[in-house]
Amino acid sequence: MWEFDTEVSEVIQRTPSVKSFRFPIRAKGVRYRSGQFFYITINTGNGTLEHHFSFSSSPTEKGHIEFTKRITSSKFSQTLAKMQPGARVHVKGPEGDFTLSRKFSQLAFLSGGIGITPLRSMLRYVVDKKLPYDIVMLYGNSSVEEIAFREELKAVSAAHNGVSVEHVLSGPNIPEGWKGKTGLINKDLVAELAPDYMKRLFYISGPPRMVLALEEQVVQLGVPETQIKKDKFIGYE
Ligand SMILES: Cc1cc2nc3c(=O)[nH]c(=O)nc-3n(C[C@H](O)[C@H](O)[C@H](O)COP(=O)(O)OP(=O)(O)OC[C@H]3O[C@@H](n4cnc5c(N)ncnc54)[C@H](O)[C@@H]3O)c2cc1C
Instruction: With CA atoms as reference, report the closest residue to 166 among 195, 204, 194, 146.
Output: 194
3 φ/ψ sector (left φ>0, alpha ψ -120 to 50, else beta): beta
Query: How far does residue 50's CA lie from ligand 1's centre (Å)?
Result: 9
Q: Are 188 and 217 in contact (CB under 8 A)?
A: no
Q: How far is the CA of 133 from the centre of ligand 1 (A)?
A: 30
Cβ–ligand 1 distance for 14 under 6 Å, the answer no
Give the whole-angstrom CA distance, residue 205 versus residue 31.
22
Ligand 1: which residue has its CA nearest to atom 31? Answer: 235
Model pLDDT for residues 124-171, shown as the tens digit of each residue: 999 999 999 999 999 999 999 999 999 999 999 998 999 999 999 999
d(CA 193, CA 187): 10
Q: Mean pLDDT score of the chain, rounded to an integer?
A: 96
Closest C-alpha among 82, 92, 119 to residue 230: 119
pLDDT band at 37 (very low <50, low <70, confident <90, very high): very high
Q: Give the global pTM.
A: 0.95
CB of 79 sitting under 6 A from ligand 1: no
Q: Which is the closest atom of ligand 1 to the Cα of 96?
A: 1
Kindly give, in sequence order, each residue whose CB lies less than 8 Å from that of residue 223, ignoring residues fewer than 6 positions away.
197, 198, 200, 202
Q: What is the mean pLDDT of residues 99-103?
A: 96
Are the C-beta atoms of residues 22 and 112 closer than 8 Å to each other?
no
Show the domains of the chain with their CATH numbers: 2-95 (2.40.30.10), 106-232 (3.40.50.80)
Residue 173 pLDDT level (bands cut at 50, 70, 90): confident
CB 8 within 8 A of CB 89: yes
pLDDT range class, residue 236, cuts 50, 70, 90: confident
Is the beta carbon of 233 within 6 A of some atom in ligand 1? yes
